[in-house]
Chains A and B, each alone.
Chain A
Amino acid sequence: MANRLSALAGHYSPGRFGAEGQAGVHLSVVADLRLHQVAAWPDSLPAVGQLLANSIGQAAKPGPGCAISSEQGAVLRIEPLKFWLLNLDPPTIEAEQGCSLDLSHSRTCVHIDGPQAQEFLGRLLPLDLRAAAFPDNRVASSALHHVGVTLWHRGGGYDLFIPRGFAVSIWEVLHATALQFGLEIS
């Protein structure tokens, strides 16, 4: 099998950049992303949602703007009739129920954490990211420098899904904005 090459390969180097002291923002590129989009019809949404939840060993599908996860993978509810399935292949879905699409190569995922990650993202996205409004396992699609991105609050940090063709320019924005907080890239 061919080796996957990140859209950001060769465009960043690990290290410590920007303001001195403790790094406020950590960035890391998620390697070998496995991402499938599953779309349902209005009438088949409950059945497809149940199928996806069961595929990762969970009881119920995620509600609007939420994610569920387990050791097997994760299901993100990104649109009223669409889910993103992470880290596993989708179950077989009949055409009458819905369809799936492999997006593994179409998105670049950057994981963002650190003590000032929330404040950092607040400079870039028109979203209320405070804990009460955007707790763990919340998902939101929004625009970052006019590019449609999806943000998943995961395990205290954030996964930012960027369309592959915009990955380099968004990375440059992330890098420049993070310098003021002290940036560590791993």
Chain B
Amino acid sequence: MADDLFKALADATRRTILDELAERSGQTLFEICARLSTRHGLGISRQAVSQHLTVLEAAGLVETRREGRCKFHDLNTAPLRRITERWPAPPVPNPEDSTR
């Protein structure tokens, strides 16, 4: 499971897909492709985007659902919690302390 997660995150295009899904969850493959090409200048084929989504889905970061005859992709950031559970982040500094 952890390997799937790190593999999924180890690719810039897949991280960009997560960024776009974070802005708006519930996108069709068409919308994801439109965002990658027009906003990020990524000229990758629909098939390649579909393969990236399969990797993200295997890691649990993307979930798909059907509504009518359409397939939508939702972001699920829950698996990321495993990273901070394994290597806890330092506590957030108290803003009052930092002014000293």
Task: Indicate whether A and B interact.
Answer: no
Residues of A within 8 A of B (CB): none
Residues of B within 8 A of A (CB): none
